[in-house]
């Protein structure tokens, strides 16, 4: 039986429609667990997950969502990090390897720090799917997409 994926774009649109105050609440979360004390989190999350695994997956996505700008283009998150985002900065290999080598929750904390710095422009459904299934394989895919799209400096 194949698992049905959530509608990632409806989550992004709901985020986009939040007022500045609730958006700021989510941006201030230092660690993913901080969001469970934030009303804005429940506005986005409410009733969308049945299992504990799904709840954690939504938490990861909502934790990273404020730092990713959606594009309709076929741009994976690793590629967006390699190209640099709205900030004009790209991430160093060393920082990305910190994410890959870290375990939960430090991997998400490290990833979000990178996302805040780079402000990547990526295809949100593609990025969200990677965060939904976040595991060693997802991390390796992120790294591979980064290196396949990195320009030699």
pLDDT per residue as tens digits for the range 33-48: 888 888 898 888 776 7
Residue 152: the pLDDT is 63
pTM, two decimal places: 0.89
- For the chain, the domains span 8-149
> Looking at the DSSP assignment, which residues form a beta bridge with residue 122?
70
- Please report the pLDDT score of residue 64 as a whole number: 95
Question: What is the fold of 8-149?
Answer: Peroxidase; domain 1 (1.10.520)
Contact 76, 122 (CB under 8 A): yes
Please tell me the distance from the alpha carbon of residue 98 to that of residue 42, in angstroms, as a whole number.
Answer: 30
Sign of CA pseudo-dihedral 128, 110, 146, 120: positive
In the predicted model, residues of the chain with pLDDT beneath 70 are 1-3, 47, 49, 152-153
CB 53 within 8 A of CB 118: no
């Amino acid at each position: 039986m194949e698992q049905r994926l959530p509608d990632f774009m409806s989550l992004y649109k709901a985020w986009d429609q939040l007022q500045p105050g609730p958006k700021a609440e989510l941006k201030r979360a230092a660690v993913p667990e901080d969001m469970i004390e934030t009303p804005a989190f429940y506005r986005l999350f409410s009733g969308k997950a049945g299992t504990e695994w799904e709840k954690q997956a939504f938490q990861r996505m909502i934790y990273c969502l404020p730092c990713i700008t959606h594009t309709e283009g076929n741009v994976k998150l690793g590629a967006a990090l390699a190209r640099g985002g709205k900030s004009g900065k790209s991430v160093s290999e060393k920082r990305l390897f910190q994410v890959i080598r870290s375990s939960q929750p430090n991997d998400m904390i490290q990833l979000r720090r990178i996302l805040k710095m780079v402000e990547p422009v990526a295809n949100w459904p593609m990025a969200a799917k990677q965060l939904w299934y976040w595991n060693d394989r997802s991390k390796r895919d992120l790294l591979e997409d980064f290196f396949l799209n990195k320009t030699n400096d």
